[in-house]
Amino acid sequence: MRHLAFLGRRLVGTVPVLLGISVIVFFMIHLVPGDPARTLLGNRATDEAVAALHARFGLDQPLWQQYLSFLGRLLHGDLGRSILYDTDVSELVGLRLPATLWLLVAATVLALLISIPLAVLAATHRGRAADQVVRAVPLLGLGMPTFWVGIMLVLLLALKVHAFPVSGFGKTPVQHLSSIVLPGLTIALAMTPILIRSLRTSMIGVLDSDYVVTARAKGLSHRRVILAHTLRNASVSSITVLGVNIAYLVGSTLVVERVFALPGLGTMMLDAIFNRDFPVVQGVTLVFALMVVAVNLLTDLAHAALDPRIELA
């Protein structure tokens, strides 16, 4: 019940956020020069043809009026119609959303798979060689551009070792899974340095605490102390770091999807910006905003699940 009420309040709270985003995106994209009609109709487009297309998509109306009709449609769940593809934006989003979700989930899972063991290793070997290596090496990842990491992974793991497809998304879930590893890893590598640092620090704090000393004194095995007592408590603060990172990495999908030719929302967004396909830019931005809101919400829920003392307000 407590969680449901919290969820309800938070969902209501997203409405003004999304409204604000819609205003900013709508007016910003229209401020940039460039005309979707001319882009679509080509070099020989007559003024009449351009005007006809403007009229068809309501681009001939004053900007505030265009915004109001966009908002009106939005209230009915209608994201508008793509000028370039002459297809409903919601249909296009539906086609592209799965690849982006796969990517974000894969990136998160891989980041956890890499970060947790390394952070545990570093925290339990504090000050020793293993700790120094774990703290230093991932930092290199922070300095490397995401697209470069992606290309290196392709050259090594796809072209040399042939362990994964070089790019694309495939058609079946099995193909999706094998296609998503390298792009997921690319994003994960960018996330791990911060995750490892945060988890290591909080683990060290927990390892020094009285209840861990007590647990050890009671004769619990090292593994049990680490997994059941230390990691669970240490992860509470790292969950926030993870949440912020995922929200931030929603933006990285733009680059990673392009490098790996994933048919996701990121590539669609870039194409739409280049072609001034206003309805698609607006629609995808809102979907991205919703994703960030959802990640933040999940972070809070995960917090509460891990630590019963945390109040959901």
Partner 1 sequence: MRKPLVALATAVLLLGASACADNGSTPSSSGSGAAGGGNLTIVRAQDSVSMDNTMVFSNASIWVFQQMFESLYEVTPDGKDVQPLLAEGYKLSDDKLTWTFTLKQGVKFSTGAPMTSEDVKFSLDKARATKGGWEFLDVAIKSVDAPNPSTVVIKTKYPWAPLLADLANFNNAVLPKDYGGKTSEEFYKAPVGTGPFVWDHWDKGTELQLKKNPTYWDAGKPSIDSVTWKVVPDDNSRNVQIQGGQAQINENPPFSSIEQLKGQPNVKVDLFPSTKTDYVMMNQNEKPFDDVHVRRAISYAIDREALVKTLLFGNGTPANSFLMPNVPFYDPATPGISYDMAKAKEELAQSSVPNGFTTTFLASSGDSTDQALAQVLQSSLKQLGIDMKIQNVDPSAAHDLQQSQKYQISHSYWTMDIADPDELVTFAVDPSAGSHSFYTSYDNPQVIADTKKAEQTFDTAGRQVLYSAIQKQAADDAFMGFLYYSPFSYAYSTKVSGFQVYPTGNYHLEDVTLGQ
Q: Which two tokens stand for residue 24?
A: 């900013």
Pick from 2, 171, 222, 309 the residue near partner 1 by CB under 8 A: 171
Shortest CB 186 distance to partner 1, Å = 13
Beta carbon nearer to partner 1, 42 or 219: 42
Pick from 130, 133, 158, 204 the residue near partner 1 by CB under 8 A: 158
Residues 257-296 that bind partner 1 (CB under 8 A): 258-261, 263, 267-268, 270-271, 273-276
Provide CB contacts within 8 A for 184, sequence distance 6+: 103, 105, 106, 107, 109, 110
Shortest CB 268 distance to partner 1, Å = 6
Beta carbon nearer to partner 1, 5 or 109: 109
Centre a 10 Å sphere on the Cβ of residue 32 and count the other Cβ atoms it contains: 8
Residue with tokens 């009449």: 48
Q: By CB under 8 A, which span of 16-24, 64-72, 121-129, 176-184 interacts with partner 1? A: 176-184
| Residue 154 binding partner 1, by CB under 8 A | yes
Shortest CB 32 distance to partner 1, Å = 7
| Residue 151 binding partner 1, by CB under 8 A | yes
| Residue 85 binding partner 1, by CB under 8 A | yes
Give CA–CA dist 209/217, Å, rounded: 13
Q: How many residues bind partner 1 (CB under 8 A)?
A: 64
Pick from 166, 220, 244, 301 the residue near partner 1 by CB under 8 A: 166
| Residue 115 binding partner 1, by CB under 8 A | no
Complete DSSP assignment for the chain: -HHHHHHHHHHHHHHHHHHHHHHHHHHHHHHS---HHHHHH-TT--HHHHHHHHHHTTTTS-HHHHHHHHHHHHHTT---B-TTT-SBHHHHHHHHHHHHHHHHHHHHHHHHHHHHHHHHHHHHTTTSHHHHHHHHHHHHHHHS-HHHHHHHHIIIIIIIS--S-SS---SSHHHHHHHHHHHHHHHHHHHHHHHHHHHHHHHHHHHTSHHHHHHHHTT--HHHIIIIIIIHHHHHHHHHHHHHHHHHHHHHHHHHHHHTT--SHHHHHHHHHHTT-HHHHHHHHHHHHHHHHHHHHHHHHHHHHH-TT----
| Residue 194 binding partner 1, by CB under 8 A | no
Interface characters, 38-67, with partner 1 (x: CB under 8 A): xxxxxxxxx-xxx-----------------
Residue with tokens 């933040």: 296
Interface characters, 5-44, with partner 1 (x: CB under 8 A): ---------------------------xxxxx-xxxxxxx
Length of the chain: 313
Residues 216-245 that bind partner 1 (CB under 8 A): 227, 231
Beta carbon nearer to partner 1, 37 or 207: 37
Binding site for partner 1 (CB under 8 A): 32-36, 38-46, 48-50, 82, 84-87, 92, 95-96, 109, 112-113, 116, 151, 154-155, 158-159, 162-168, 170-171, 174-175, 177-179, 181, 227, 231, 258-261, 263, 267-268, 270-271, 273-276
